[in-house]
């Protein structure tokens, strides 16, 4: 039984006859921050969706705190609430205010008094500088604000770890910074995180380890100082050369 916070053992996943993940092994320690980099279609998003069991995996296993969460037949709602995920396209519920978005799942799922949930949500809004936007609907917020609400919504379930699927890719460039600040803040609080990202500068600054994915495999995994300065694998080198030049 693996001892890491999260471990993936030989995870494979196909859509139809297209194999998207071809045997992923990864161990993530408590409080560690992993950045997944790689071209579009390399399997980063699918990997994240296989971790929180949004997509059932074909083979292999996913372990969270020593429990095999990919074992068929368990209550997936219970598993998913332990792993927060934030998507590229925010996916806020448009018919609810920011606060209602954040409170819906805790109210339905967590057995805690409504007052406690609400005050905890308000603390989160304040912490991410959105206190005056709680009563607004998603379409009244900027992209960056919406994405921060999405992060708060995931955090309100008190997840044990967080997954971020290219959460700045749909944002206007000037709004990327405020969302990355949220991640920095979570990093200092010791949250275990896996990020699929195209923000190489950010990965270099904050990640404990950077995993380069290509063709459904983790081709190279190393601390940012190593992988960005002297990548060992030719394909990593090629990829980094093309993105860092741009």
Partner 1 sequence: MNRRQAYEVGQRRRALAIAGLSTAAVLLAIILLVPLAPGWTQVRASFFDGGIFIETFPTLLRAFLVDIAIFAWSVPLIFGLGLAIALARGARAPALFPLRIFGALYVDVFRGVPVVLVIYLVGFGVPGLGLPRPWNSPYIWGTVALVLTYSAYIAEVLRSGIESIHASQRAAAICLGLSERDTMRYVILPQAIRRVVPANMNMLVALQKDVALLSFIGPVEILRQAGIYKSLLANFTPYVVAAVIFLIVTVPATRYADYLMNRDRNARS
Q: Is 222 in the site for partner 1 (CB under 8 A)?
A: no
Determine how β-strand 6-15 pairs with β-strand 18-28: antiparallel
- Identify each DSSP E strand in the chain by its residue range: 6-15, 18-28, 33-37, 59-64, 67-68, 83-86, 161-165, 192-196, 209-214, 217-222
Work out whether 44 is an interface residue with partner 1 (CB under 8 A): no
Q: How far apart are CA 70 and CA 241, in angstroms?
A: 36
Q: Specify whether the CB–CB gap between 10 and 25 falls below 8 A.
A: yes
**Minimal distance, residue 220 CB to partner 1, in Å:** 29
How far apart are the C-alpha atoms of 228 and 244, rounded to whole Å? Answer: 10
Looking at 31-39, 89-97, 128-136, 226-234, which segment touches partner 1 (CB under 8 A)?
89-97
Beta-sheet pairing, 59-64 with 6-15: antiparallel
Residue whose CB is less far from partner 1, 70 or 236? 70
Write down the least CB distance from residue 181 to partner 1, Å: 23
Interface pick for partner 1 out of 56, 66, 94, 223 (rule CB under 8 A): 94
Q: Which part of the chain contacts partner 1 (CB under 8 A), choosing from 78-86, 112-120, 128-136, 183-191?
A: 78-86
Which one among 105, 170, 217, 233 touches partner 1, defined by CB under 8 A? 105
Q: One symbol per residue from 53 to 72: x for binding partner 1 (CB under 8 A), - otherwise; what is it?
A: -x------------------
**Binding to partner 1 (CB under 8 A): which residues in 147-206?**
153-154, 157
Shortest spacing between CB 95 and partner 1, in angstroms:
5
User: Is 14 or 91 the residue whose CB approaches partner 1 more closely?
Assistant: 91
CA distance to 3, 177, 210, per residue, from 128 (Å): 33, 13, 26
5 is an interface residue for partner 1 by CB under 8 A: no
How far from chain centre, in Å, is Cα 99? Answer: 21
Residue 182 CA: distances (Å) to CA of 129, 147, 169, 204, 218: 10, 10, 15, 17, 27
State the residues that interact with partner 1 by CB under 8 A: 52, 54, 76-78, 80-81, 84-85, 87, 89, 91-95, 104-105, 108-109, 153-154, 157
């Amino acid at each position: 039984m693996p001892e890491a916070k999260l471990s993936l053992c030989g995870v494979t996943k196909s859509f139809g006859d297209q194999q998207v993940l071809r045997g992923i092994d990864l161990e993530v320690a408590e409080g560690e921050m992993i950045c997944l980099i790689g071209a579009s279609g390399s399997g980063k998003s699918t990997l994240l969706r296989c971790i929180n069991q949004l997509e059932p995996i074909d083979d292999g296993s996913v372990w969270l705190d020593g429990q095999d969460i990919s074992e068929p037949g368990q209550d997936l709602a219970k598993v998913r609430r332990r792993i927060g995920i934030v998507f590229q396209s925010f996916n806020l519920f448009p018919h609810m205010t920011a606060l209602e978005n954040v409170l819906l799942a805790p109210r339905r799922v967590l057995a805690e008094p409504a007052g406690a949930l609400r005050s905890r949500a308000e603390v989160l809004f304040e912490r991410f500088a959105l206190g005056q936007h709680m009563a607004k609907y998603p379409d009244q917020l900027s992209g960056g604000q919406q994405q921060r609400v999405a992060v708060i919504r995931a955090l309100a379930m008190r997840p044990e770890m967080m997954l971020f699927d290219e959460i700045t890719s749909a944002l206007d460039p000037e709004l990327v910074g405020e969302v990355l600040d949220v991640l920095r803040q979570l990093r200092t609080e010791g949250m275990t995180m896996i990020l699929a990202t195209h923000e190489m500068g950010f990965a270099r600054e904050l990640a404990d380890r950077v995993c380069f994915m290509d063709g459904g495999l983790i081709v190279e995994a190393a601390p940012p100082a190593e992988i960005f300065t002297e990548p060992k694998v030719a394909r990593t080198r090629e990829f980094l050369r093309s993105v860092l030049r741009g």
